[in-house]
Amino acid sequence: MKFTAEQIAGILDGEVVGNPNAEVHELSKIEEGKEGSLTFLSNPKYNNYIYNTEATITIVNRSFTPESELKTTMIKVDDAYLAFSKLLEFYDQAKGSKSGIEQPSVIAENSKYGTNLYLGSFSYVGSNVVLGDNVKIYPNCFIGDNVVIGNNVTIFAGTQIYEQTVIGNNCAIHSGSVIGADGFGFAPNPDGTFKKIPQIGNVVIEDNVDIGACTTIDRATMGSTIIRKGVKLDNQIQIAHNVEIGENTVIAAQTGVAGSTKIGKNAMIGGQVGISGHLIIGNNVRIQAQSGVARNIKNDEILQGSPTFGYNDYSKSYVHFKNLPRIVAELEELKKQILNQKNGNNG
């Protein structure tokens, strides 16, 4: 698809400086811009690139004033970064506008689906499934019995959604994710073996949730594992049974949350964090990458380390930790001096 500068300015409520009929058909970074591409400039550190970019159109802040002549046509907007993000979203939606049921695929006769469904080939939709409008299910997906999926949901290739799962509106689940598999529940027997505890609950994912590739969310033993609205999960995250994640919390890759832990709203959790089970994590908590959490956390705490403690205390302690070999050497030298003094006095 091709768009003119005038059309793009209309979408963004922007002002064209240059050729309003300039056309673009792809997006690019400003330093890699080429003819026919659209780019943006928001960070002043990249200002020098705009004078040499081959991009046909560049989105800039209204405050930007060039210091020399430009080849690129500018579109001035209030916030260039947000405007470009809006175009990326528009482009992504246009790119993913597939519809129809490809073959071979299976959809149970007693399942229901709304308008503009896309079901990719080699996908399976089980009994009593309800799919909303504008649902996109890419190839090689499994949707188990009694699953409910809202409107404007995209499920990327190779995703497995087990029975009874409930997914809200405007969600995206990326390739290779498994939603609703058994929680890790086993009871020890007297002879040292383990007996599996049936996991009869489900997973509930509310509106506007994004789930990264190869992330796993286990269904509850009883009740529900709940991902509240606005949550953003990165790739390769493990959410165990009966966990609850509060609204607008974001979690980076390779983090694991053990069973029955409750995480509050607006938390930010870095990559490779391990969180023990049956904990309460408050609202607005910040946990730095590679931390280990083994206690309840109050609202607004900022933590780092394993086991975690206050971020400021961790930073101060780390300075001493780095100097530990030198400190130990100095202590050993002081110890020798004290012993020598004692021996001298005794002599």
Q: Is 7 left (phi over 0), alpha (psi -120 to 50) or beta?
A: alpha
CA pair distance 1, 94, nearest whole angstrom = 9
Amino acid symbol at 93: Q
CA pair distance 82, 11, nearest whole angstrom = 13
Q: Is the pLDDT of residue 310 over 70?
A: no
The 3 state secondary structure assigned to 260-296 is: CCEECCCCEECCCCEECCCCEECCCCEECCCCEECCC
Which whole-number Å values give the CA distances from 78 to 4, 41, 63, 64, 318, in the listed order? 20, 12, 8, 10, 42
Question: What are the domain boundaries of the chain?
Answer: 3-95, 100-312, 318-346
Which among 292, 288, 266 is positioned nearest to 277, based on CA atoms?
292
241 given a catalytic annotation: yes
Of 174, 241, 278, 320, catalytic: 241
Overall fold of domain 3-95? 3.40.1390
Least confidently predicted of 56-65, 82-91, 215-224, 260-269? 82-91
Q: Is the pLDDT of residue 347 over 60?
A: no
- Pairing outcome for strands 166-167 and 202-205: parallel
Mean pLDDT of 277-284: 97
Q: Mind listing the pLDDT tens digit for each residue in 180-239?
A: 999 999 999 999 999 999 999 999 999 999 999 999 999 999 999 999 999 999 999 999
Stated as kind and residue range, the H or E segment containing 97 is: none
Q: Give the other-Cβ count within 10 Å of 309's Cβ.
A: 15
CA pair distance 286, 314, nearest whole angstrom = 14
The CATH class, in words, for 100-312 is: mainly beta
pTM of the model: 0.77
What integer pLDDT is reported at residue 327 of this predicted model? Answer: 81
User: How many angstroms from the chain centroid is the CA of residue 216?
Assistant: 13
